[in-house]
Amino acid sequence: MTDENERAVQAAIDGEFRLKDPEVRASPALVRELLDPEFTEIGASGRWWDAESILTVMSKGTVTPESPIEARDMSGVVLAPGIVHLTYFSDHQGRGAWRSSLWRLTETGWRLYFHQGTPAG
């Protein structure tokens, strides 16, 4: 992996961990900085989300700093210039899921473009 690709993957990993930070998750403004305007997600629940629906739920105070999300085995690959694919396993309050995220480089930095969670067992 080239240095440029390593920096791209690390930037996406840093962004993913910021989105897992309970304090960031509790702030719709901070989350908005990390989500691409065209963001979509297929959650582990099977529900489809976009940036506005995620931010609406967050603004209702349903996400609290007391519920951290643990992530492990995170790895990434550059699919094309400015596009990074991350995969990892998450655990949130005893619910495990395999995760896949696509991060896109924009004029304002790296932003999450697509995310999917698949329940594990």
Q: Cβ(69)–Cβ(20) under 8 Å?
A: yes
How far is the C-alpha of 27 from the C-alpha of 54, rounded, in Å?
12
Domain count, the chain: 1
Which domain CATH number covers 99? 3.10.450.50
Helix (H) or strand (E) holding 95: strand 95-106
Taking the whole predicted model, whether its pTM rises above 0.85 is answered as yes
pLDDT score, position 116: 97
pLDDT of 20-36, one tens digit each? 888 888 888 999 999 99
* N-terminal to C-terminal alpha carbon distance within the chain: 33
* Domain carrying residue 78: 3-119
Ranges of residues in the chain with a pLDDT under 50 are: none
pLDDT of 89-103, one tens digit each? 999 888 899 999 999
Helix (H) or strand (E) holding 92: strand 83-92
CA 39 to chain centre: 10
